[in-house]
Structure 1
Amino acid sequence: MRMKSGKQKQSAENAVRDIRRKTRRQFNAEEKIRIVLEGLRGEESIAELCRREGIAQSLYYSWSKEFLEAGKRRLAGDTSRQATAPEVKELRAEASALKEAVADLTLENRLLKKSMTGDGEDDE
């Protein structure tokens, strides 16, 4: 019987681990910035802040590093950024519309050239 309780205990631990992975909290950018700024203020220790927010200290420090590196790049004049999905869709639609306009104008230009030469025969 001991074998069963060991297997049950292991499967229960695995189930709990799986649930925790699937229900892990996702922080958006604003929340990450708020937490990092609170840590930088120094009003409470990083350990207390992380305990209150329910995050690991290593996660806080990685967010802090990303935050400070992004600020450094911005101050150095690197203003490039990643385009968001809606921006990409909008730019693709605009590019498609422009290509279509160029194709229409090219076709119209060819038709006008043919009408100027007579019956559509090329000048040679």
Structure 2
Amino acid sequence: MSKDIRRKTRKCYSTEDKIRVVLARLRGEDSIAELCRQEGILQGLHYSRSNEFLEAGKKRLVGDTAR
């Protein structure tokens, strides 16, 4: 039952929101702690999203040079 409540109250972030937060950190506007507090996300989640973002960029660049 508690999982159902958690699922209903969990905020869903769009892809654009996730990218916006990762790019804000890369620009160095705020510390990771402050940015996560403002966005209401855990720092671990931010690091996971950042790593996914950077890995996707690497894969895309490798694909571009292989053409």
Please give the TM-score of this superposition, normalised by the length of structure 2. 0.84
SS in 2 for 1:25: coil
Aligned twin of 1:47: 33
1:1-124 paired onto structure 2 within 5 Å: 19-77=5-63
Runs of 4+ aligned structure 1 residues displaced above 6 Å come to: none
Shift of 1:22: 1.8
- Corresponding pairs, count: 63
The percent of aligned pairs where both chains have the same amino acid is 68
Highest RCO, 1 vs 2 (Cα 8 Å, sep ≥ 6): 2
Runs of 5+ unmatched residues, structure 2: none
Please give the TM-score of this superposition, normalised by the length of structure 1. 0.47
Runs of 5+ unmatched residues, structure 1: 1-15, 79-124
